[in-house]
Amino acid sequence: MTAYNCMSRQALEEEYQKVLSQYDDCKRQNLNLNIARGKPSSAQLDLVMDMLTTITDIDDCIADGVDTRNYGELSGLQCAKDYWASILGCKSNEIFVGGGSSLTLMYDVISKAFTHGLRRSERPWCKEEKIRFLCPSPGYDRHFMVTESFGCELVMVPMTVEGPNMDMVEELIQDPAVKGIWCVPKYSNPDGIIYSDETISRLANMKPAAPDFVIMWDNAYCVHEFEGDFVPFKDIITLCRDAGRPEMVFEFASTSKITFPGSGISCMASSVDNIAYMTKLMGIQMISYNKLNQIRHVRYLKDKENTLALMKRHAAILAPKFEMVTSILDREIKPLEFATWVKPKGGYFISFNTMPGTAKRALALCKEAGLTMTSAGATFPYGIDPNDSNIRIAPSLPPLNELKTAMGVFCTCLKLAALEKLLA
Amino acid sequence: MTAYNCMSRQALEEEYQKVLSQYDDCKRQNLNLNIARGKPSSAQLDLVMDMLTTITDIDDCIADGVDTRNYGELSGLQCAKDYWASILGCKSNEIFVGGGSSLTLMYDVISKAFTHGLRRSERPWCKEEKIRFLCPSPGYDRHFMVTESFGCELVMVPMTVEGPNMDMVEELIQDPAVKGIWCVPKYSNPDGIIYSDETISRLANMKPAAPDFVIMWDNAYCVHEFEGDFVPFKDIITLCRDAGRPEMVFEFASTSKITFPGSGISCMASSVDNIAYMTKLMGIQMISYNKLNQIRHVRYLKDKENTLALMKRHAAILAPKFEMVTSILDREIKPLEFATWVKPKGGYFISFNTMPGTAKRALALCKEAGLTMTSAGATFPYGIDPNDSNIRIAPSLPPLNELKTAMGVFCTCLKLAALEKLLA
């Protein structure tokens, strides 16, 4: 195979006819495939079915003397705080245990910042003229949408292989209107990179102009290696505590990709004072979270060691899918030299950069052929990728045979969109 | 026994010495009793333990073709919508199924009104100069606190035996700054009354000046009779729909006092357009609620008939407690003629009105003797009872023998506070 940019116009036209015919074959199959979202597969959910019968008797429902069946313990059961503290590497009293969704806890923090202010806020953010929020991109569309929904100005910061471009971050935070930054520090969504120690240290040591600047540290993939052993990771809560600005960060995690998505337990971690402040505000909206689900999870997952053993079983299902995606890309796309990607070792995504100016078109072609993927641009603020190049691949949901078909369609569409552009 | 207001000063002084001595006896027992909150008792929680093993196999987790173990179905499983629609008497497409807390859904509505506006809002409420909210009193402190937390001006509307004073409500809603009203229409918290058909009809037919006026209809005790059979109740969603203003109401309910408090499922009902509007906003903060818990509840509770049968079993535990409280009050307090109360037939509370100006003192005496009750004034906006008279009794949690002791202490404290005032 020859790289597209080395082909003559005639060769490109021949290739175009060949790929077009492959695309027509794809369409004729009336496919209905979805690799849009980081959803675990049925096989992964089957792994944890025993959790449903962990709690059956009255005695099972008593934890640390608390009857978990009744109201109470707004900030979470002690055993659930201990569990999350061991996973994240912070202290138990820096943990608030939530319901099934860490995204909801993130929203709670931003929402309360707007209506009530954070602990160091001079006034609620809704009383500020403008709020700017840093969005390392490509990033997670749901993060960006939370801050967009409240009318923040989203400021794009390019991602590097070590995390967000810190020179730019350190410059931007001199603006007191810049109130925070979204981060997925381990197996970042979608790039799959791990922030370097230097990046993390620079983040923890920031001196933002806004007294209530907040690092939204979504540690969604904290134990989600699918290749190799667990990678130890610096705890941001400890680092910010040590840097003398313990209140600058809220960290989030959940069991959505450990047990059952949306039916697991989540947590937020921050300074003891921040947790006390948030607990008071949360007490207005809620008496207590589902503690039966907390005790169910703690009894089932037990501790970090046992959780990591379970993650190995998830990895055994996930790894072949990532392997398949990258091997097909290596075979079909790499020699054509119009796209780049990196195979991650954890997380749920592959970040794929196709020929600039062709991502939207490629995904429109996918859709027409029955393959749903994350929308083009979704990984950028306001859904606008300035290069129209980044595509997030989420290989976890379909079984291997479907994934293979999906990748075939995907490669065909990428080629077709690239050829259309080259021939335009 | 003689009514206190018919006693001579000397008789009062003798009574005071007698009651003071009884009070000292109470204190010497070093009691630790709590009738502050509407918490179900352990015996009630034991009733529903089978729910925990309703869902055990993979097949159990599939509902209407949806794998409830995975992400999806933000607004709730169809079967859960059908369940709530049958309980409330509205249509399934007027239902949004939430997590464990209906209070959280109420907060979500008010919070989003402030940050994003309701569907008919001209602007988010945080951009309005003043928001006033009607608080029928005595009422539920947590309702009042939600609106207080957002800086609303709480406007007290007196409760009557038929519900809120509607003449006053109809007058107040002419003010466009008045944006809503809190209601607990069936077995109201704390009075235990059922709004009359006329009150409900007048509420549904209101023509408020604010286009985004909202009735916050907390139907917390919709199936919570403990004496007699289920009392059919007009459905506010249907009434508002028929009155041509379907978007004026949000109704709320939960299984917190049917299955497990805080670990159940909740719902909000409103017009189809309102539910679509809210679902879109909720989609920013959440991918989906705990659907395993939805399917667990629907499989266990089955339908309205089966739920009502379960409520009879709750009633068998609750009724003797309400009976004991009112019989002790009838014996100890009634002849003294300084207090009034009504025995309800459902709900979780008895609303007790002691001698004006003595509620705070009586509850301080209770606390000193080891008996925790809902704070005096809690049933009024800002926690201020203008008459310092209303006390909410929540008899559900303690077993009968403890409740008997608690009521003995309570009566002694009521008398002591009344005598102190009469002798002052």
B292–A115 CB contact, under 8 Å: no
Residues of chain B with confidence (pLDDT) below 50: none
Question: Over the stretch A115-156, which tens digit does the pLDDT of each residue have?
Answer: 999 999 999 999 999 999 999 999 999 999 999 999 999 999
Crossing angle of helices A272-285 and B141-149, rounded to 10°: 120
Residues from chain A contacting residue B290 (CB–CB below 8 Å)? 99-100, 262-263, 290, 293
- The residue among A263, A266, A286 with the most chain B CBs within 10 A of its CB, best to mutate, is A263
8 A C-beta contact, residue B48 and residue B311: no
d(CA B196, CA B188): 12
B290–A262 CB contact, under 8 Å: yes
pLDDT at B1: 81
User: Between chain A and chain B, how many beta carbons pairs sit less than 8 Å apart?
Assistant: 153
d(CA B216, CA B126): 19
pLDDT at B75: 98
8 A C-beta contact, residue A385 and residue A340: no
B65 sits in the region (left: phi over 0; alpha: psi -120 to 50; else beta) called left
Residues from chain B contacting residue A52 (CB–CB below 8 Å)? 55-56, 292
pLDDT at B324: 97
Q: Identify the three-state secondary structure at position A329.
A: helix
Which A-chain residues 41-60 have CB contacts (< 8 A) with chain B?
42, 45-46, 49, 52-53, 55-58
3-state secondary structure B46-60: HHCHHHHHCCCCCHH
Nearest to A101 among B114, B263, B287 (CB): B287
- Does A16 lie at the interface with B, CB-CB under 8 angstroms? no
B285: nearest CA partner in chain A? A104
Q: Residue B382 carries which DSSP code?
A: G
Backbone dihedral angles phi then psi of residue A394, each to the nearest 5 degrees: -120, 95
Question: Over the stretch A204-244, which tens digit does the pLDDT of each residue have?
Answer: 999 999 999 999 999 999 999 999 999 999 999 999 999 99
Min Cα–Cα distance to chain A from B270, Å: 20
**Percent of chain A clearing pLDDT 90 (strictly above):** 98
pLDDT-derived band at A99 (thresholds 50, 70, 90) equals very high
Which A-chain residues 257-276 have CB contacts (< 8 A) with chain B?
260-263
pTM above 0.95, yes or no: yes
Residues facing residue A254 across a β-bridge? A266
Residues facing residue A107 across a β-bridge? none
- Does B299 lie at the interface with A, CB-CB under 8 angstroms? no
pLDDT at A330: 97
Residues from chain B contacting residue A145 (CB–CB below 8 Å)? 284
- C-beta contacts of A83-87 below 8 A and 24+ residues apart: A83/A297, A83/A298, A83/A301, A83/A303, A84/A253, A84/A267, A84/A269, A85/A269, A86/A303, A86/A304, A87/A222, A87/A223, A87/A253, A87/A304, A87/A307
- Does B145 lie at the interface with A, CB-CB under 8 angstroms? yes
Residues facing residue A137 across a β-bridge? A158
Nearest to A288 among B262, B287, B288 (CB): B262
- The residue among B37, B55, B69, B126 with the most chain A CBs within 10 A of its CB, best to mutate, is B69
- Pick from A139, A220, A158: nearest CA to A383: A139
Crossing angle of helices B272-285 and B102-115, rounded to 10°: 90
Min Cα–Cα distance to chain B from A43, Å: 11
Residues from chain B contacting residue A68 (CB–CB below 8 Å)? 263
Residues from chain B contacting residue A268 (CB–CB below 8 Å)? none
Residue whose structure tokens are 């004072």 = A273
B56–A57 CB contact, under 8 Å: no
Question: Over the stretch A299-331, which tens digit does the pLDDT of each residue have?
Answer: 999 999 999 999 999 999 999 999 999 999 999
pLDDT-derived band at A1 (thresholds 50, 70, 90) equals confident
A69–B284 CB contact, under 8 Å: no
Asked if the interface predicted TM-score (ipTM) of this complex is over 0.95, the answer is: yes
Mean pLDDT, chain B, as a whole number?
A: 97
Nearest to A262 among B145, B285, B291 (CB): B291
